[in-house]
Amino acid sequence: MREVFQQELREVRDRLVQIAELVEETIQQATTAFGTSDVALAEQVIDAGERVDQMAAELDELSIDILARQQPVASDLRLMVGALRMSASLERMADLAQHIAQLARYRYPESAIPQGLRKTFAKMGGIDTQMAEKLVELLREPDQRLIDEIRDLDDALDELHAKVFEKVLSDKISTDTTGVVDATLASRYHERFGDHAVNITKQINFFLSGAAE
């Protein structure tokens, strides 16, 4: 029974890795779609986000099924609760990538990014993508170093988020009201994406140390 459970935990982990890989691709493409006003790519992101929802729902069903059949207790039970929480966070991360892509689509053929903030948003998107990439690695193999790196990236993201507001409010960038709204929302979406990545590191450390037994 124990061996079957270990095998099922590996299946859960593999599915989390697959979802995280798709989330990584999604945030990278959303960043490009937002930066280059690429509507076709934005549509792809929106479709991929729906795939993530579907995969997360299927993983939740599997997790509930494992809980029912294996009746885990103690740390094994916490692993399974952690898996449910991680799938919820990954789903939200894909939602946020969708929202970023939608901003590009709404403003097309105009750019959603105000002049003077292009580099900042490219950096935010780059950091989100790196965070997702490190989550994929972390889900494959537990590593405290990766957890620390993801938290450092989140700090960098929070600084950039503050910088966006600083720039917007200083009126140093030339933009209209639409640009201010878009910059505010996009910055918020990127920042929340990072928060969810950090939430996953909180679960993952425990989850992977158990699954790697």
Which residues of the chain form contacts with a second copy (CB under 8 A)? Answer: 64, 67-68, 71, 73-74, 77-78, 81, 84-85, 88, 165, 168-169, 171, 177-178, 180-181, 184-185, 188
Contacts of 114 (CB under 8 A, 6+ apart): 168, 173, 174, 175, 179, 180, 182, 183
Work out the end-to-end distance of the chain between its first and last CA atoms, rounded to an integer number of angstroms.
15
- Closest to a second copy by CB, 4 vs 181, is 181
**Structure tokens, 180:** 């201010």
When the beta carbons of 40 and 68 are compared against a second copy, the nearer one is: 68
- Smallest distance from a second copy to CB 149, Å: 25
Contact 43, 105 (CB under 8 A): yes
Q: 144 vs 178, which CB is nearer to a second copy?
A: 178
What type of residue sits at position 161?
H
Residue whose CB is less far from a second copy, 41 or 183:
183
Count CB atoms within 10 A of the CB of residue 210: 19
What is the nearest approach in angstroms of a second copy to the Cβ of residue 184? Answer: 4
Residues in the chain: 213
Q: How far is the CB of 103 from a second copy (least distance, A)?
A: 12
CB of 104 to a second copy, least distance (A): 16
